[in-house]
Structure 1
Amino acid sequence: MTCVLIVKTGDAYPEVADQHGDFETLFLNQLNTALPAHLHLQVWDAKRHAKAPSLDTLAGIVITGSHSMVSEAEPWSEALKPWLKEALESDIPMLGVCYGHQLMAAAFGGVSDYHPAGRESGTHGVQLTQEGQQDPLFGQLPQRFDAHLTHAQTVLQAPASATVLAHNHHDAHQALRYGPRQWSVQFHPEFTPAVMRAYIERQRAALRDQGEDPGSLSANVMEAPEAASLLTRFLTFV
């Protein structure tokens, strides 16, 4: 088992994909910088190819973000839930991001849906809980770190068996752990500042409608190296 599977759950905006790469490319760029020689990366587009790879061939799983909504229960998305449950039961290392975070939470007994306070976009501070400070993956981060965020849905209710590792003023569930090597995060460790600004630009109207200042959000985008480090350090648990 030498394959780390990137589960692609959607496509980035066309201008983002053209200039910076699609979702899976952003993950490949980060993960390849620290990929051990015995591992290789593979991409599975779950929306376009229904047959899931056999779990006994996988050393780890990373689940991307998406413009889809978990609460819409699209057939391809619902089909991932039993597969993810089996992966958890088999103790396959997993890291879900944004849509992947919400999907894992929903698959394991939580509730994911629209955030009552609206969209969160931009570079924002994230705070570790006491459990997060003691977590094997998150414990090496500072107690507060910056992260890139863009989401309208969220984990409204974490699974009863999950541990909350991080939160912020907008979201009580910025990071969750479900098992010894299974995590998910609401923020985007794969994003660069340029990608984050491109998302804010695309969302200007929606952000203004909820009383946000897109110009200020864009001006406050900065590097988020601590959040980004989660991807490469995840590989040490594979």
Structure 2
Amino acid sequence: MNNVKPIAIIKTGSTFPQISEHYGDFDAWIHQGLGSTTGVMVIDADRRGRLPDLSALGGVVITGSHAMVTDQAPWMRQLMRWLYTLIHEAVQVPVLGLCFGHQLLARTLGGEVADNPMGLEVGTVALRLTAAGRHDALLGAIAKHPWAQVVHRQSVLTPPPGATVLASNGHDACQAFRYGDRVWGVQFHPEFSADVMRAYLQALRGEGLTQQQVDSHLPEVRECDDASAILGRFARLSAVQVA
């Protein structure tokens, strides 16, 4: 009989109010991607509450955020200490970081995170999978259709020592990495629908994007079903770990 444990969604921020009013927030999108039968617990990291016991978890997903990893706020440092312990002591708990979560994982493990010299990357973009990425348990999902939704100013400029880079593109040399065999970071947003991506482009008008840039990016937005499938794969992998 399976020992069913929930996946902890570590919520490190919220989307814009005008987006959450119509579409919900990061944790709801991630839960939907994991699957309705997957048990989850949502932890607001920036409230400095007690993080869950490692033995209680089947997996961990760290959300995106409008905060910057380089701010090194107290709640970020607390979360990084918890993640370091999780990764090195809870040997059967898979971990997935999305965007800010990807960067926070990299920083926790000794990588370099900073403003990307090329500036903001936003919209539906093409990725290049490495050989390791094409055969990876999660990233292999996008091998045939390597497109994903992105919105970020900072990047993992240097991956953690010992990490395997799984995907890149012209803007970002580390769009995804794996550390060991159960810790992943992806710079993109598998939880974003095309509608959410379009809403982000509209919200960034005058806040990093000109009207001309918004008009240029909008027609390129498409659904990225293969990238979205990463969340379901992660849920199944987490269930196997606790079986």
TM-score by shorter chain over 0.5: yes
Is 2:81 the partner of 1:110? no
Match of 1:214 in 2: 214
Distance (whole Å) between structure 1 residues aligned to residue 173 and residue 158 of structure 2: 9
Match of 1:50 in 2: 49
Distance (whole Å) between structure 2 residues aligned to residue 141 and residue 70 of structure 1: 27
Match of 1:225 in 2: 225
Distance (whole Å) between structure 2 residues aligned to residue 83 and residue 217 of structure 1: 38
Assess, with a 3 A threshold, how the Cα gap between structure 1 residues 143 and 168 changes in structure 2: closer, same or farther.
farther
Maintained 8 Å contact 1:127/1:143: no
Maintained 8 Å contact 2:141/2:226: no
Distance (whole Å) between structure 1 residues aligned to residue 169 and residue 187 of structure 2: 11
Match of 1:64 in 2: 63
Maintained 8 Å contact 1:88/1:179: no
TM-score (normalizing by structure 1): 0.93
Residue type at the aligned position of 2:24: G
Maintained 8 Å contact 2:34/2:234: no
Give, in angstroms, the shift of residue 213 of structure 1: 1.6
Distance (whole Å) between structure 1 residues aligned to residue 34 and residue 144 of structure 2: 24
Maintained 8 Å contact 2:145/2:226: no
Match of 1:145 in 2: 146
Name which of structure 1's ranges 182-191 and 23-32 shifts more when overlaid on structure 2: 23-32
Give, in angstroms, the shift of residue 143 of structure 1: 5.1
Maintained 8 Å contact 2:7/2:39: yes
Match of 1:12 in 2: 15
Maintained 8 Å contact 2:123/2:149: yes
Residue type at the aligned position of 2:117: P
Give, in angstroms, the shift of residue 144 of structure 1: 5.0
| Secondary structure of 2:190's aligned partner | coil
For residues 156-191 of structure 1, the C-alpha deviation after alignment (integer angstroms, 9 at most, x for no partner) is 111111100000111011101012111010000000
Residue type at the aligned position of 1:157: T
Residue type at the aligned position of 1:114: D
Give, in angstroms, the shift of residue 220 of structure 1: 1.0
Give, in angstroms, the shift of residue 208 of structure 1: 2.6
| Secondary structure of 1:177's aligned partner | strand
Distance (whole Å) between structure 2 residues aligned to residue 50 and residue 71 of structure 1: 21
Give, in angstroms, the shift of residue 48 of structure 1: 1.4
Residue type at the aligned position of 1:7: I
Distance (whole Å) between structure 2 residues aligned to residue 70 and residue 125 of structure 1: 24
Alignment gaps of 5+ in structure 1: none
Give, in angstroms, the shift of residue 11 of structure 1: 0.9
| Secondary structure of 2:47's aligned partner | coil
RMSD (Å) for aligned C-alpha atoms: 1.4
| Secondary structure of 1:207's aligned partner | coil
Alignment gaps of 5+ in structure 2: 239-243
Give, in angstroms, the shift of residue 207 of structure 1: 2.0
Aligned residue among 24, 27, 41 for 2:27? 24
